[in-house]
Every structure is written in structure tokens, then in C-alpha cells.
Amino acid sequence: MFRARKLLSSSLLGVAILFALTACPKKDGDGTTVSTPAAGGAIAKVNGQDISRSEFDRQMERTRSRFQRAGRQIAPALETRLKENLIRKMVEEELIAQKAKGEGVSVTAEELAAKVSEHKSRFGSDKAFESFLQRTNQTEADVKDDLEKNLLRDKLFAKLLAAAEPTEADAKKYYEENLEKYKQKEQIKASHILFKVEKDTPEKDKKARLAEAKKVLAEAKKPGVDFGELAKQHSEGPTKERAGDLGTFSRGRMVKPFEDAAFAAKPGDVVGPVETQFGYHVIKVFEKTPEAQRTFDEVKDSILTSLKARQRSKATRDLLDTLKQSAKVEILEPGVSLDAKRPALGAGTDKPLPGGDDGAEAAAGGDKADDGAKADDGAKADDGAKADDGAAKQ
């Protein structure tokens, strides 16, 4: 009997020691505390305030479902990164909520209702909004909650980040230091007629295609001939329905043989046949715009917008870092680190989340392109002209 009690006492002592060891918190690389959670407990604590594990699980499930719909598997390493990103987001939201309360900042019912109405109007119809909710595995309440958090964040930061905004002088300085970015490259407006030739096309068939291209070239050079009508009759590329129109483009946008021939021509010239990996092209150049430096007045507004976004993004991140440093943050999810030195999700081999932003709006900050409108040349890669997906090279 005594031996049995002794064994029981030893077992209970062992369990107590094991519990104490596993529950003992440790420090993460960024100063947050990492502890082993009790089942069903919080996912994290911020100044003693629980971050809901059930809400974390719900949002993670929403993310997983988006990957499934996109036909993508979530590898263990990516699963960890997704958890880290979500916990970081939830911790920051709690930090903001606590700071806003301390600063007397809140969102009124009227402000939220207006924001929800504005957001829904962007979809054009209730049906489109419902489709968005289904696609992102959200409810309208989820969107409303996200918008409220975004509004609270914006109001808090507007109060705390009342630094002077970039001035026209700042924009002028940036412009002068980055003149090359605001140089408009030489551009042409052209159309073409494509006679497709595949890699495995027999030589005699290639010769026949070339002869056909030469015949159409001769026809296109006749005075008064409508080049667009010839393209509709003979071209075999996607631009056929647009009368061969390639729009306006600069160097570097087309495959090299095509580009060399087109830029060597003068407005009104019809040249060809030009051989590329897609076949034979007959090209007509309509306009040519020489290279020119865009003036400061032309780009001033876009530079100011970009500088403001950069400043706000940095100030926002600095403020969040300050809030984290002065707060007690405990991470209760095993294997998760909020080490700020890790690359952001999407860097390296990770791909962005499918389906776009989970929330209602993107976080504050982020730079936008500030060097002017991008030309869409309208040609597809298999049309034998365009070398990329439509984004003009800088």
C-alpha cells in the first residue's frame, strides 16, 4: 500500500514538473514572449488582453479555403508563415485598439455606415458584392469588422502622425535626382499583319507563307489602300479583329527583329516582311514621337502622392514598432515567431495569397508607380509583337 502511494506520488510529481517545463515562457527574437498554450486558450496576449484563438482559427480556415479554390497546396513552411502573418496582424490590431482607447479615438456608427456603403458601391451591384464574399470566404460582418479596424487605425494615425507632409520643394528635389525615371522614351504607333509560321512548318510551306506576305506587302504600299482592312482579311494574330492595331509602344516592348524594323521606318511607311519566331510581319508605322523629358509640372502630383505614401508607410511602421516595444506581447502558438527580420510573405519562393486581400482595404502606405501613364500596346505575345504582359518597362 505504501509502495503504491509512493508510485502515485512520484507520477503526480513528474506530471507537475512536465507541466511547469512546457508552460514556462521563453523570449522570441523580437522580444515577444513565446509560451505553450492551453487547449482552447488564447492565441496570444497583448498587455494581458487575450487574442481570440477561435477568431484566429476562423481566419486561418478562410485563408486555407482560398488556397484550395486556387488549387494550391499549403506546405508546412508556408503554413507557419501564414500563421505568423495572421498573428502579427491580430497583435497589431489589438495594439492599435488599446492605443486608440487611451487616446480617446473611436469610430462612430455614422462613420462606419458611410465607409461600408462606400466600399459596397465599388462592386457596382449587390450581386457582385455577394460574389466577392463567396470568393474570399467572408461574410458581410467580416467586411464590416475589417473596415472598422481600418477606420480606427486611420483615425489614430492621423492624430499621432501629424508630421509635416512632403512639399512641392521635396517633390522638385526628388524629380531632379531621378530625371531618368521621368524620361519619355521614343514611341511609335503601328499596326501589323501576321502570317504565322510554326517551328515545325516544312520549308516549302514557309516559302509559300513568305510569298503571301510579300504579295500583301505590295498591296499595302499602293496609294489609298486601307491597311486595317488588309489586316482584317489576312492577319492570323489576335490583333486581326482590331485591324492589326498595336497601339503606341516604346523600345523594349516588342521582339527585337520587329522592333528594329518598326523604329527604323518613318510615319506612313509600310515595311516587311519581317521574320520573327512567330512568322512574317507586314508593318505600317502611323506616328513617331521622339524621346522627351517629362516636365516637373507633368509629374509633380504623382511624385507628391508617392512621397506622401512612403512617409506615411514609414511613420506607421515606426509607430507600430514603438507600440510593440512598450507592450507586453505573449505568443501562445507553438512554432510561431514574429521575428521582424524574417522576409515578408511573398518574398523569395513564397507566392502571394491567392484571391487578393482578405480584408476590406489594403493597409496604409505602400508606394505607387509615379512615373506616368503606362502604354498598352495591345499586342499579345503570340501575336508576334509584344514581349511582355502589358506593363511598360521603366
Q: What's the CA gap between 132 and 123, in Å, rounded?
A: 8
Asked if pLDDT for residue 96 goes beyond 50, the answer is: yes
Per-residue model confidence (pLDDT) at position 33: 54
Per-residue model confidence (pLDDT) at position 284: 92
pTM to 2 decimals? 0.51
Per-residue model confidence (pLDDT) at position 71: 80
Asked if pLDDT for residue 327 goes beyond 80, the answer is: yes
Count CB atoms within 10 A of the CB of residue 86: 20
Section 227-245 average pLDDT:
88
Confidence of residue 336 (pLDDT cuts 50, 70, 90): confident
- Residue 219 near residue 230 (C-beta atoms within 8 A): yes
Asked if pLDDT for residue 4 goes beyond 90, the answer is: no
**Which cell numbers hold the place of 319?**
509607430
Confidence of residue 388 (pLDDT cuts 50, 70, 90): very low
Of 239 and 353, the one with more pLDDT: 239
- Residue 36 near residue 333 (C-beta atoms within 8 A): no
Count CB atoms within 10 A of the CB of residue 162: 9
Confidence of residue 163 (pLDDT cuts 50, 70, 90): low
**Which cell numbers hold the place of 18?**
512536465
Per-residue model confidence (pLDDT) at position 339: 66
Q: What is the pLDDT of residues 49-87, one digit of tens each?
A: 998 888 888 888 888 888 888 788 888 888 888 888 899
CATH class of the domain comprising 186-290+374-383: alpha beta
Residue 177 CB contacts under 8 Å (≥ 6 apart), including other chains: none
* Of 131-145, 314-328, 377-391, minimum mean pLDDT range: 377-391
In the chain, CATH 3.10.50.40 sits at: 186-290+374-383
Per-residue model confidence (pLDDT) at position 133: 87
**DSSP reduced 3-state for 55:** helix
Q: 355 - beta bridge partners?
A: none
In the chain, CATH 1.10.4030.10 sits at: 24-181+297-363
Of 58 and 8, the one with more pLDDT: 58
Confidence of residue 250 (pLDDT cuts 50, 70, 90): confident
Per-residue model confidence (pLDDT) at position 32: 55
Residue 216 CB contacts under 8 Å (≥ 6 apart), including other chains: 193, 195, 230, 234, 282
CA-CA-CA-CA torsion sign (69, 72, 73, 79): negative
Confidence of residue 22 (pLDDT cuts 50, 70, 90): very low
CATH class of the domain comprising 24-181+297-363: mainly alpha
State percent of the chain over pLDDT 70.
75
Section 277-293 average pLDDT:
90
Greatest mean pLDDT range, 44-53, 331-340, 344-353: 44-53
* Of 152-161, 193-202, 259-268, 380-389, minimum mean pLDDT range: 380-389
